[in-house]
Amino acid sequence: MRISSRCSFWVMLFFAAYSLQAQSDFYRFRSDFSIKEKETGKDQGRLITGTIFFDKNRHKTVYDIRFPEPEQWFVRDTFMYRIKSDTLLSQQMVPPVGEFSIFNLILSQQLNDFGLAKVGYTPGDIQQGGGQVISRWLPPEKLNPYLGPVDLALENKRLTAAAFYDKDQKLISKFYFQDYTVHNSLPVPGKIYQIFYREAGEFVRIMTLNNVIINQVDEDSTYDFELPPGG
């Protein structure tokens, strides 16, 4: 009993170390992006274009925005700094956006389950058809009063869609992932549709990713940015 417990401890340690090693293989993500969003039924919407630099190990994200106006957003852990023309515009606390970002899911190779397994969701019903595998993921039982299930659709082992529900099984939002390309063996969606079902009506966002580079090594100063004076 004693031996088997120790054995299992070392096996667990090995897999933990292996997991850490595997996760650190991909640590940087760079891509040009555009975000288009609007409420359905309205002509006016929002457009943002720029380049994203994400360093998973350093917990740093840079948004080099070109439209609507050129400025840089530097995010480190839970602090964000807005820079325009080398001048610090503002700094504020923000949620740890890097940890929750799609870029982190891609680098961590957790996009297939949207990172749900890591936070304790477990797969329930699984249905197949039309080349898709659709599974319903359930939150940990103790969190049922607060969280709802998530449906994931996979095609060729790649996530193609996700639907999120609240605790009352009411649909909150859907994601569609399209135009995958492979970079350094990592599948990266080129177009992501997000549909939010709100009481005020549907709200739609399309994010496109182009010119993706994984583990870029020639722009260290951008990924590992220095905080601006006063920051």
Partner 1 sequence: MLIASITSASIPAKNLSHIFRDDLSKIDSEMALITALEQAVLKSKVTQSQLLREGDPMAQYALEGGDISGSLFGGTAPQEGALLGIPGFLWGFCCSVVGVFLVYIAIDDPIVKKKEGRQAIFGCAAGTLLWVALYAYLVLWASFY
Among 18-26, 173-181, 211-219, 223-231, the segment contacting partner 1 (CB under 8 A): 173-181
Regarding 140 and contact with partner 1 (CB under 8 A), the answer is: yes
Regarding 132 and contact with partner 1 (CB under 8 A), the answer is: yes
Which has the closest alpha carbon to 84: 94, 67, 74, 70? 70
Token pair for 188 = 């990266």
Contact positions with partner 1 (CB under 8 A) in 95-124: 95-97, 100-102, 117-122, 124
Region for 143 from its dihedrals, namely left if φ exceeds 0, alpha if ψ lies in -120 to 50, beta otherwise: alpha
Alpha carbon of residue 62 to chain centroid: 15
Compute the least distance from the CB of residue 47 to partner 1, in Å.
5
Residue whose CB is less far from partner 1, 150 or 186: 150
Distance in angstroms (rounded) separating the CA atoms of residues 135 and 160: 12
Compute the least distance from the CB of residue 8 to partner 1, in Å.
10
Distance in angstroms (rounded) separating the CA atoms of residues 22 and 165: 31
Regarding 66 and contact with partner 1 (CB under 8 A), the answer is: yes
Whose tokens are 């998530």? That residue is 150
Compute the least distance from the CB of residue 230 to partner 1, in Å.
20
Regarding 58 and contact with partner 1 (CB under 8 A), the answer is: no
Output 124-132 pairs: Cβ under 8 A, ≥24 positions apart: 124/149, 131/155, 131/156, 132/160
Among 31-39, 83-91, 211-219, 222-230, the segment contacting partner 1 (CB under 8 A): 31-39
Regarding 18 and contact with partner 1 (CB under 8 A), the answer is: no
Regarding 203 and contact with partner 1 (CB under 8 A), the answer is: yes
Whose tokens are 């009411």? That residue is 170
Regarding 85 and contact with partner 1 (CB under 8 A), the answer is: no
Regarding 134 and contact with partner 1 (CB under 8 A), the answer is: yes
